[in-house]
Chain A
Amino acid sequence: MTMAVLEILVYPDPRLKEIARPVETVDQATLDFIDDLEETLLAGPAGVGIAAPQVGCLKRIVIVDVSSKPKIPHHGHLVLINPVIVASEGSVVGREGCLSVPDYTGNVARANRITLSAWDKTGTEQVYNMEGFEARAVQHEMDHLEGLLFLDRLVSRRDIFRRKVYQKPGTPASKPS
Chain B
Amino acid sequence: MKKWYMVTLVGRDRRGIVAGVTEALFEGRCNLGEASMVRLGGNFATMLMVEFDGDTPALEDMLRPVSGRLGLRCHVDEIEAGLHRHVEPDVRISVYGADRAGIVAEVTGALAEAGLNILNLETDIGGTEGNPIYIMHLDGVAEQGVDTLREVLETLSREKNVEARLVENDLLMG
A binding-site residues for B, Cβ under 8 Å: 45-51, 64, 69, 94-99, 103-105, 133, 136-137, 140-141, 157-158, 160-161, 164-165
Contact = CB atoms under 8 A, between A and B. Distances in A.
B169 A95 contact: yes
Interface string B158-174: 00000001000111111
Contacts of A157: 120, 122, 137, 139
Contacts of A99: 173-174
Contact of B94 (A45, A46, A161): A161
Interface in B65-115: 84, 86, 88-89, 92, 94, 96
B135 interface: yes
B173 A164 contact: no
B172 A136 contact: yes
Question: Which are the 9 A-B pairs with shortest beta-carbon distances?
Answer: A49-B174, A140-B174, A95-B169, A96-B172, A161-B137, A47-B173, A97-B173, A103-B84, A95-B171
Contacts, number: 64
B135 A96 contact: no
Given A103-B86, A161-B137, 11 more contacts: A50-B174, A95-B170, A105-B88, A105-B171, A133-B172, A136-B172, A157-B120, A158-B137, A160-B92, A164-B165, A165-B94
Given A104-B86, A157-B122, A158-B122, A165 B135 contact: yes
A164 B135 CA distance: 12
Contacts of B84: 103
28 contacts: A45-B173, A47-B174, A50-B174, A51-B174, A64-B174, A94-B169, A95-B89, A95-B92, A95-B171, A95-B172, A96-B173, A96-B174, A97-B172, A97-B174, A98-B174, A99-B174, A104-B86, A105-B86, A105-B171, A133-B170, A140-B174, A141-B174, A157-B122, A157-B137, A158-B122, A160-B137, A161-B94, A161-B137
Interface residues of B, number: 20
B86 to A, nearest CB: 6
A69 B174 contact: no
Contacts of A48: 172-174
Contact of A137 (B88, B94, B124, B172): B172
A69 B174 CA distance: 14
Contacts of A104: 86
Contacts of A164: 94, 165
A46 B173 contact: yes
A93 to B, nearest CB: 8
